[in-house]
């Protein structure tokens, strides 16, 4: 019998190839949505709707955590914004591992492993921490070389594509560093030395 895998999905574009990859290796896979790091709420919903559409098209199982724990997330990351990605990964993978244990699934993983835009080295660290705490195995593989393969799967589907990582801090950084062309000076860069965000 195939081993059951609960795969945390950060967005449809990272999930696409990741799902295919683990399915091809024989896992009985369920996709799990829990991303209280995505702000604002309208952005969170757009990304969730895109994943739901992909689930309908491709026929994979999708479980959604109905909680949008934005306040808990902000409490965690604003204490130490320079370490915010560690807390962000921890919050999401902790919930994924907890859910996997509750559902008697042997392993958990995350689509974040395919993104070259994430702090990749933190992911196996956080995954192993949660593996030990919750007694569910964390499935790790560096899938970053397949990021463009994943985008090739979703491109023809015309699904919503985000423009920044997720949290309100990343939204600020994205528009600070890559302002829209017709901004009339609205997005002029702030003095970076006054910022506490991780670069």
- Residues in contact with ligand SF4 by CB under 6 A are 37, 77, 84-85, 88, 165-167, 169-170
Q: SS3 of 105, please? A: coil
**∠ CA 99-100-101 to the nearest 5 degrees?**
90
Q: Which is nearer to ligand SF4, 20 or 90 (CB)?
A: 90
Residues 27, 24: Cα–Cα separation, whole Å: 7
Q: Which is nearer to ligand SF4, 4 or 68 (CB)?
A: 68
- Alpha-carbon separation of residue 64 from 6, 36, 133 (angstroms): 12, 12, 23
Q: Which is nearer to ligand SF4, 74 or 157 (CB)?
A: 74
Smallest separation (angstroms) from ligand SF4 to the CB of 169: 6
Q: Which is nearer to ligand SF4, 73 or 138 (CB)?
A: 73
**Residue 57 token pair:** 């098209």
142: CB partners within 8 A, 6+ apart: 113, 120
Smallest separation (angstroms) from ligand SF4 to the CB of 90: 10
The CA radius of gyration of the chain, in Å to the nearest whole number, is 17
């Amino acid at each position: 019998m195939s081993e059951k895998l609960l795969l945390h999905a950060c967005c449809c574009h990272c999930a696409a190839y990741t799902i295919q990859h683990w399915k091809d290796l024989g896992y009985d896979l369920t996709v799990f949505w829990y991303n209280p790091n995505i702000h604002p709420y309208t952005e969170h919903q757009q990304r969730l709707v895109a994943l739901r559409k992909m689930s309908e098209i491709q026929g994979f199982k999708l479980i959604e955590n109905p909680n949008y724990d934005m306040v808990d997330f902000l409490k965690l990351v604003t204490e130490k914004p320079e370490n915010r990605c560690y807390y962000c990964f921890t919050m999401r993978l902790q919930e994924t591992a907890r859910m996997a244990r509750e559902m008697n699934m042997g392993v958990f993983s995350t689509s974040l492993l395919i993104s070259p835009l994430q702090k990749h080295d933190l992911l196996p660290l956080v995954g192993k921490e949660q593996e030990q705490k919750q007694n569910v195995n964390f499935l790790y593989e560096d899938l970053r070389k397949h990021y463009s393969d994943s985008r090739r799967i979703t491109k023809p589907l015309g699904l919503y594509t985000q423009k920044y990582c997720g949290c309100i801090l990343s939204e600020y950084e994205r528009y600070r560093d890559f302002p829209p062309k017709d901004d009339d000076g609205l997005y002029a860069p702030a003095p970076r030395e006054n910022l506490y965000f991780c670069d």
